[in-house]
Amino acid sequence: MNRMTPEGKAKLEELIARVMKDGQARGIAVGIVNAAGEIQYENYFGYRDAENRLPITRDTIFGMASVTKSFTALSIMQMQQDGLLKVDDPVSRYIPEFTNKNQSEPVKLWHLMCHSGGYFPLPRIVVDKTAQEMGIEDSLDAELIYREDFAEEGIRRVAGRLDAQTRFTGRPGQRMSYCNDGFGLLSDIVRRHSGYGSFAEYLDKKILKPIGMDRSNISFIRNSQDENAAILYSLENGTWRADRDYQNDAFVLHGGGGMKSTLGDMLKYAVMYLNEGVAGNGNRIVERYAVQEMEKPRQFMKPGIYYGYGLETKQVGDRAVYEHGGSLPGVSSNFSFCLQEEVGIVVLCNTMDVSVAAIADAA
């Protein structure tokens, strides 16, 4: 039964209009799905390309930004299930470039999965600058996401600067400090030790294709050339920038924010969590235990909100909600699900710094 009433729909869309106005959002896609995969609500506001007034569809590609972290954590849980690693193992066992030399205790995989490695935030090491310094370019024939030399340079830079830190937020596991670098290390563990050769291929073969997420990937070049990919709108130095530069401020290792997806695909992703590891097509992606481990509140973020493995958990009224948001130039995203209500909610926007989480909470 669809519990979205006409009154509820009107209130939700009134809020969406306010959020769009306040954030100067060019386009927003909103979807609600139940555990059976039935669409409870689906609507599109504004445009994927505002200048040419091109509409958003279920297959329009948006950046996911940090929503990617849930995919990375899910990959690690799959690998643990397959006997390839344990989340309690030290990171240095899988990435020798990371020596852990200045920490008094080993940084373990699970520490990185909930941002508690002890590292202070650092500026991004970005894709385009690294590629330029290496003298290479992204192309359909040699995509950066599959290049071993690019991945090896990325891990050298990221692991090296983490090892260079001499001051820490605390012992590993003690407290949360948001760390894109940590999720970058996790995605490189997937690349090196899964047998698939790249993080991109692992995601495609072990998560995306089995769920039926055929329009999702971590490519830069393919999405920049896709006619149904959203134009990215970002405010830079007081001027709006509009393009399909999916490399803009993108992290050199892709586990922290590289995913691009669509409303249709992300609703399928939500159904998998609502069924604790089983996709809507019947494919089991991961065991129930692994999903429950991702959901556990492990690190305090702020009153009522905790971080698990690639997912945040919070209370909305008397409901436990699991979610992750994302923000990059031209990207505001939110993915959430509630087992009590048996609904998953996806809100995607092609404009930076838009309050999409407020829409998800209201939905």
Mean pLDDT within 112-117: 98
Of 332, 344, 361, the C-alpha closest to 46 is 332
Query: What confidence score (pLDDT) does residue 1 get?
Result: 66
Q: What is the mean pLDDT of residues 301-311?
A: 96
DSSP letters along 36-95, please?
TS-EEEEEEEE-SBTTTTBPP-TT-BEE-GGGHHHHHHHHHHHHHHTTS--TTSBGGGT-
Bridge-based pairing of strands 239-243 and 260-261 is unpaired
Tell me what the mean pLDDT of segment 314-329 comes to.
94
- One-letter amino acid identity for 295? E
Q: What single-letter amino acid sits at 338?
A: C
**At residue 334, does pLDDT exceed 80?**
yes
Q: How far apart are CA 292 and CA 298, in angstroms?
A: 12
* 214 pLDDT tier (thresholds 50, 70, 90): very high
Contacts of 294 (CB under 8 A, 6+ apart): 70, 73, 74, 77, 308, 309, 310, 311
Q: Report the amino acid identity of residue 204.
A: D
pLDDT in the model for residue 254: 97
Residue 342 pLDDT > 70, yes or no?
yes
Q: Which two tokens stand for residue 51?
A: 């200048």
Q: What residues form DSSP beta bridges with 337?
A: 322, 344
pLDDT digits (tens, 9 = 90+) for 17-76: 999 999 999 999 999 999 999 999 999 999 999 999 999 999 999 999 999 999 999 999
Class of domain 6-69+216-362: alpha beta
Angle of helix 68-81 relative to helix 180-193, nearest 10 degrees? 40
Cα–Cα distance, 88 to 305 (Å, whole number): 24
CA distance 181 to 306: 20
| Structural domain spans, the chain | 6-69+216-362, 85-201
